[in-house]
Structure 1
């Protein structure tokens, strides 16, 4: 475990001369872990431009948050970027906007999503909503912004979901979108989407060794999303959500610690050797190296390569998933 004291010490080194982080894109940064991380980043006092991508419904409260950030650090420029990122056409539009304004992106931080406890619901484009948020949208952001990430001296992509929690159980490689009758359940969807993230990020990391790719498992953090997906009148949903929120408050990370830990993930040289100096144990990728691959990072900021499971997923499903993803995202690339 990387202690919280070590985390704070590393983050305290971040300044305008020491960091190459100048342009960041946060997708899902209007609440939860994305919001906590933005706050921690801005509080460092560095000059940074942040594209904060969020839904129209969160615009009003997010404007107040942006004003707070400007007061905290006048050198930070936070640009509200409205989008329904479950829709791939909207993702394409946002990426084109960023591409037209920037020559590089140093950090792409992806957190949009929630646990799919409810019944299956699809977007107007025909994709299950949570899968669109947690997989297709995230991969489209990466692929569209890859040229800008490649132009950075120390680019990093972080997908916050369940890195290190991959399993070969309950994964259906013949029904990647879980469309078969009875196949969509939270206990199937969550491991499916985690595995899909890891398989594709593992491939992208191997092909883009100059970009640090991280699949993070955040642990217990009260993001406010545990109530999403349930029927508004569900008594079971209300009881379950209340219990989870209580347990999270009891044993989970505070908002501040979660933000600081993810800022460490975003800036420390522990992952790939570039970033804030790190004298502790170097992170290890899914291929057993210290750079040029995917880092699976748990809530304690330790790497958990999960080599056996990831190797099986890589062998049995990676190319199949990649072909499927390319076909589905093709119209938006």
Structure 2
């Protein structure tokens, strides 16, 4: 009696090889983005760190190369708050194809006053959502040139209790920083799912996936000087939170799996296994308000009007 060998369980510490594939991580110079880039670089892939600060990107590149001998890491100046610059940034990639982009970069403000991008958009909505919306359009020819590319959008629990106000998407009438941040992340996640629906309808080989890190704290994150330094005091303060939360190195796991695992499908959402807060990555049900396709389609139309770009409409 013969048996079909089962697929081995996903091991976050033994990732599959991805030699010569090309991955772009926005905000790859710090936080969860840094650890996504570090982990992907161990697979043999070419990893591009997108950052608005060349100095910080270079520091992150050096830190990865110290941890991962032979890592093939490049840097790319990328400012999501400057929409006209994005086409130039994509041209500077100098690649004939892109196997995945991880939309990770983000701005989070805690206090007023309301700030705007150089294009006149509210800073968090403009950077976190509109910047990635437009960037996807310019990247689509490169993504379409890869055999089975993925757009992986890093969401946030901050979006779980928020709802979009499409009558005031840029918080001009009622600006509350934490709420505006949560809504900007919700807009990103709506976009990711709507993108997959449109790509699928068009017969594209590109898939769009949502991943979220759960509860990821600096105090539980291992040091990666000079990118991140964890003091003994911070480690002791963060220890109790480790029962329910995790460090940013573990927060990277769902996005890394969404990039690499051939079993991942477009339109899925991936997060940590334990209450969606910590642990190894697994698929989880899409939040009920994210399944609202009418809101997602309206947001797409608004985003197109604000950026002048249709992410599915730029031919290769």
Q: Alpha carbons of 1:331 and 1:296: their partners in 2 closer, same or farther (altered >3 Å)?
A: closer
For residue 137 of structure 2, the aligned residue among 143, 150, 155 is 143
> CA contact under 8 A between 1:164 and 1:298: conserved in structure 2?
no
> What is the aligned partner in structure 2 of residue 39 from structure 1?
38
* CA shift for structure 1 position 166: 4.3
Secondary structure at the aligned position of 2:55 is classed as helix
* CA shift for structure 1 position 201: 1.9
The unaligned stretches of length 5 or more in structure 1 are 225-243, 273-292
* CA shift for structure 1 position 32: 0.8
> What is the aligned partner in structure 1 of residue 82 from structure 2?
87
Paired residues for 1:1-333 under 5 Å: 6-8=9-11, 12=14, 14-15=16-17, 19=18, 22-44=21-43, 46=44, 48-56=45-53, 59-73=54-68, 75-98=70-93, 101-119=94-112, 120-162=114-156, 165-166=159-160, 170-180=163-173, 183-209=174-200, 210-222=205-217, 251-272=244-265, 293-300=266-273, 301-306=281-286, 308-311=288-291, 313-315=292-294, 317-330=295-308
Normalising by structure 2, we get a TM-score of 0.76
* CA shift for structure 1 position 73: 4.5
* CA shift for structure 1 position 186: 3.5
> CA contact under 8 A between 1:166 and 1:306: conserved in structure 2?
no
Q: Higher strand proportion, which one?
A: 2
Secondary structure at the aligned position of 2:129 is classed as helix
Secondary structure at the aligned position of 2:134 is classed as helix
Secondary structure at the aligned position of 1:25 is classed as strand
> CA contact under 8 A between 2:34 and 2:60: conserved in structure 1?
no
The unaligned stretches of length 5 or more in structure 2 are 1-7, 220-236, 274-280
Q: Alpha carbons of 1:248 and 1:88: their partners in 2 closer, same or farther (altered >3 Å)?
A: farther
Structure number with higher relative contact order (C-alpha < 8 Å, ≥ 6 residues apart): 1
1:206 and 1:140 mapped to 2: Cα distance? 17
> CA contact under 8 A between 1:25 and 1:108: conserved in structure 2?
yes
Instruction: Show CA shifts across 1:191-235 (max 9, x none).
Output: 4223322332222101223222122221121359xxxxxxxxxxx
* CA shift for structure 1 position 87: 1.4
Instruction: Show CA shifts across 1:268-292 (max 9, x none).
Output: 12312xxxxxxxxxxxxxxxxxxxx
After TM superposition, the runs of 4+ consecutive aligned structure 1 residues lying more than 6 A away are 244-247
Greater CA drift, 129-138 or 76-85:
76-85
Q: Alpha carbons of 1:192 and 1:63: their partners in 2 closer, same or farther (altered >3 Å)?
A: closer
2:148 and 2:296 mapped to 1: Cα distance? 26
Q: Alpha carbons of 1:178 and 1:158: their partners in 2 closer, same or farther (altered >3 Å)?
A: same
* CA RMSD of superposed structures (Å): 3.1
Q: Alpha carbons of 1:27 and 1:104: their partners in 2 closer, same or farther (altered >3 Å)?
A: same
Secondary structure at the aligned position of 1:84 is classed as coil
Q: Between Structure 1 and Structure 2, how many residues are aligned? A: 277
Q: Alpha carbons of 1:307 and 1:77: their partners in 2 closer, same or farther (altered >3 Å)?
A: closer
Normalising by structure 1, we get a TM-score of 0.72
Q: Alpha carbons of 1:223 and 1:128: their partners in 2 closer, same or farther (altered >3 Å)?
A: farther
